[in-house]
Amino acid sequence: MSCNKVPASIFKAYDIRGIVGETLNEEVVYNIGRAIGSEAQARHQQGVVVARDGRLSGELYVAALTRGLRDTGRDVIDVGMVPTPLLYFATHHLGTGS
């Protein structure tokens, strides 16, 4: 899937939301990872922290996101299944910027 096939409807003001298996699938998440990784690279940010919530799709999608990020040369720190505030804390504490 090319990046132009990532549905624009999944991008919200503060997050990304889609229907699992429809507007949001492994390939879409991989492409999002590549896009975020490219942006991090442009900002000279080597490390990126990732996390997931308790949804059943979480492990699959964090793996796809991680592949996309690593394909842009980013170092990925997976903090596992945590609440959003802990992800923000990890990003700040680890000094990754992303």
- Distance CA(8)–CA(29), nearest Å, equals 13
pTM score, two decimals? 0.91
- Distance CA(76)–CA(66), nearest Å, equals 7
Q: What angle is formed at CA 24 by the lines to CA 3 and CA 74, rounded to 5 degrees?
A: 55
Q: What is the CATH code of the structural domain delimited by 3-94?
A: 3.40.120.10
> What are the structure tokens assigned to 19, written together?
């229907």
**Ordered per-residue pLDDT tens for the chain, 98 residues:** 455 589 999 999 989 999 999 999 999 999 999 999 999 999 999 999 999 999 999 999 999 999 999 999 999 999 999 999 999 999 999 999 88
